[in-house]
């Protein structure tokens, strides 16, 4: 079954006079275990599409099936549950809670999912080890470098073993070396069977993906499938 299936997805910001048509009919199908790079010029609607795919926002029109379930008409509570269990979202600006410890940041999605305390803690520690920062559990995000913060964000995104990992320019705020490390982590997660969809501006990064979807002006301009070189 496909993880993502959208048909005629549209998004309009604002109303009447100053309406912005950010998406103008997106048809996109992503299968389980795919690694997709979403590219396109600034303002083409990449972030808008990602936030709808991540159930952070609702489309203005069209349909969206996530893991076989139509989500465009779900209630807020159901969407929250989907974000919690099915989707791991990684933001360009990390979006960690600045005053919660790293451990708590990673534990929070599990808290919302009702994972018992002990298990929550153990899984959070395991995840921190998996993303390569096992010794930072009790510090605040402010004490970490950008690359380390993005690893925490990835650990948090993985907390409830989501079906889909979405990342909107995850390396955008990082220097190229750190960016490469974070990308390596995504590749590794993909290798372990995760479905990954990431937005990037960097053609070199896009080139490493087996599939590239290019947006232009709210529409899919190109959808190329090719093996990484």
Does position 190 interact with other proteins (CB under 8 A)? The reply is no
- Nearer to Mg ion among residue 47 and residue 208 (C-beta): 47
Does position 108 interact with other proteins (CB under 8 A)? The reply is yes
- Nearer to other proteins among residue 90 and residue 205 (C-beta): 90
Alpha-carbon Rg for the chain, nearest whole angstrom, is 17
Q: Which stretch binds ligand ATP (CB under 6 A): 45-53, 137-145, 181-189, 203-211?
A: 45-53
Does position 128 interact with other proteins (CB under 8 A)? The reply is no
* CB-facing half-sphere around the CA of 172: CA atoms within 13 A: 15
Residues whose CB is less than 8 angstroms from the CB of residue 35 and which lie 6 or more positions away in sequence, other chains included: 186, 187, 190, 195, 196, 209, 210, 211
Q: Which stretch binds Mg ion (CB under 5 A): 43-51, 65-73, 108-116, 154-162?
A: 43-51
| DSSP β-ladder status, 164-168 and 195-199 | parallel
d(CA 127, CA 140): 17
CB of residue 112 to ligand ATP, shortest distance in Å: 25
**Which phi and psi angles does 71 have, rounded to 5°?**
-110, -10
Of 221, 206, 227, 179, give the one whose Cα is nearest residue 49.
Answer: 221
SS3 44: coil
Choose among ligand ATP, Mg ion, other proteins, none what residue 95 binds, the Cβ cut-off being 5 to 8 Å by kind.
other proteins
Residues that bind other proteins in the complex, under the rule CB under 8 A? 51, 54, 56-58, 76-77, 80-81, 83-85, 89, 91, 95-97, 99-100, 104, 108-109, 111-116, 156, 159-160
Residues that bind ligand ATP in the complex, under the rule CB under 6 A? 13-14, 20, 22, 40, 42-48
């Amino acid at each position: 079954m496909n993880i993502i299936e959208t048909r005629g997805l549209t998004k309009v910001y604002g109303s009447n006079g100053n309406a912005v048509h950010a998406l103008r009919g997106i048809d996109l199908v992503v299968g389980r275990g795919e690694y997709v790079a979403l590219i396109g010029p600034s303002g083409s609607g990449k972030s808008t599409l990602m936030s709808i795919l991540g159930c952070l926002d609702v489309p203005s029109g069209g349909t969206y099936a996530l893991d076989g379930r139509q989500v465009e008409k779900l209630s807020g509570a159901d969407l929250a549950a989907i974000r919690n269990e099915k989707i791991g979202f990684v933001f360009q600006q990390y979006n960690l809670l600045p005053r919660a410890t790293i451990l708590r940041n990673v534990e929070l999605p599990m808290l919302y999912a009702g994972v018992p305390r002990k298990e929550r803690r153990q899984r959070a520690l395991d995840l921190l080890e998996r993303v390569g920062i096992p010794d930072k559990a009790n510090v605040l995000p402010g004490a970490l470098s950008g690359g380390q913060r993005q690893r925490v964000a990835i650990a948090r995104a993985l907390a409830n073993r989501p079906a889909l990992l979405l990342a909107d320019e995850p390396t955008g705020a990082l220097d190229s070396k750190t960016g490469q490390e974070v990308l390596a982590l995504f590749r590794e997660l993909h290798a372990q069977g995760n479905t990954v969809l990431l937005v990037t501006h960097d053609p070199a990064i896009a080139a490493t993906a087996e599939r590239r979807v290019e947006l232009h002006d709210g529409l899919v301009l190109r959808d190329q499938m090719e093996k990484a070189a």
